[in-house]
Chains A and B, each alone.
Chain A
């Protein structure tokens, strides 16, 4: 789609400002109906970006255009209350003294809608998140998951062109989170504005977002569809999020990949020049002695950490090529894997992917 139509309908923003220690410079574009997942480490500028889009923080430079309307051009800006924006934060932040219905009706009322009409609208929004029977409840009488859904209904009751969700599920316990996530997904499908979803939970991003933007140290380090990001991470953080071992390296035409730390990895899919190389943790096998047979990659590494994840264990290994290996619990006991011990790690050359950096 052309740049011109993108400006007219969806979100087009360049956020530049400094807040505390961090200099933020983030560009975001999206079509109406799209969900942009913003991921990144804490303190990297995610929330700053959200608050600047909402107008709570002021841009030093850049612009925010939504639905063809200029919200901020670095000099003139609309106040938050003048923007067609919906904001939902972690902890829901419902007004504790108002009933659920009046929380949801607060936006329409503030924007000049009459009391009856606003309440009718609020009832509709509560119904859409499956809470019509809790309209008269005060926030403290609702479960955390219900509070989150009321907060979503409240944010959407003003028909925002831009919906901002900052860690909407972070405050929920795991059970509630899974259910609320699917409620959120269902409600967002029916929403035709642009959604910006800030999260540090990859599952939120992968299940809810059409595009992912990774923000680290105030900069965008990667942008793409979930599928693109999953297969080709482009920063150490993204590698961790998608669960791949990732190396910045130099590749040659023979399939030799030299990592920045001096390690050597062999691959059957060579890329020349500056490359990223990935190794799936599940493709790493561990052995007490030097492995026999086919694997082209074998390193003697030291075990730095052992963590359990369901029926498998993740083994953190340090040495020539730092690795995370995913093995069964049986092999943990069979091999006697303990922190501080040395172990041989083997990876087939066919499991190593490379792509240009």
Chain B
């Protein structure tokens, strides 16, 4: 009787748990099973792949650098500020995390488009942002920056604020403190923030295709190419997907023990 009751509750919890696991794992297995491993090298040598790979690598690298240069100071301000507005800024920062990427793309168009909030002032100078490589970077930065800032802010909050007080009495300006103490002590946080942001930028699809379009060699990144190839040659799409999966697992390895404990 008691044994039966325990068995029933095991089933009641075990079945949904197993289903959840299957929903996550089966697609990955399917991808691996459908891959034609011998064909992967030649698939990746397809004329369309190389430009997309090059574009993805350059735009995600630029995005990572932008995160580093702009996101680090923002993370520092958020980490040290006790002002009430800070929690609002932090909430604002998380919006791009949950926003549908397509909506992000529309928002970017409204900003940088020909008649956009900022774009209208660029148009007279003949500067056009949408549907250029710059747009790809802007889209990737829009979705990736929050990951970076939140990761680094968390690391900086872990620092003893008295270290900064001591550094300042020793004569260090804010910039010198950050350069010589603050940043060196949060390097692990910066590394995981960069890995997260870079991985998110690499996978960016919705905002990119909306705001930057799908032009080969200019705005067609790897995820966009996968989408195109799926209609033309599904096997090429699978091969590129395998490569992106491998990269994701690699990033996971970098993050392990830092974020995913």
Contacts and interface: CB of A to CB of B under 8 A. Distances in A.
Interface of A: 51, 54-56, 79-81, 83, 85-87, 89, 93, 95-97, 106-107, 110-111, 154-155, 158, 164
A290 to B, nearest CB: 57
A80 B176 CA distance: 14
A158 B171 contact: yes
Nearest to B173: A81
Nearest to B181: A95
B179 to A, nearest CB: 11
B165 A56 contact: yes
Contacts of B169: 54-56, 80-81, 83, 85-87, 155, 164
Nearest to B161: A56
Contacts of B185: 95-97
Nearest to B165: A56
A87 B181 contact: no
Nearest to A164: B169
A54 B180 CA distance: 21
Interface in B141-168: 160, 162-163, 165-168
B234 interface: no
Closest 8 pairs between A and B when the two form their complex, measured CB to CB: A110-B171, A107-B170, A80-B168, A111-B171, A87-B169, A110-B172, A56-B165, A80-B169
Interface residues of B, number: 17
B180 A89 contact: no
B172 A93 contact: no
Contact of A81 (B160, B171, B181): B171
A12 B163 CA distance: 27
Contacts of A80: 165, 168-169
Query: B171, B172, B176: which has the most chain A beta carbons within 10 Å?
Result: B171
A106 B167 contact: yes
A324 B176 CA distance: 54
Contacts of A95: 163, 167, 180-181, 185
B253 interface: no
B14 interface: no
B176 to A, nearest CB: 6
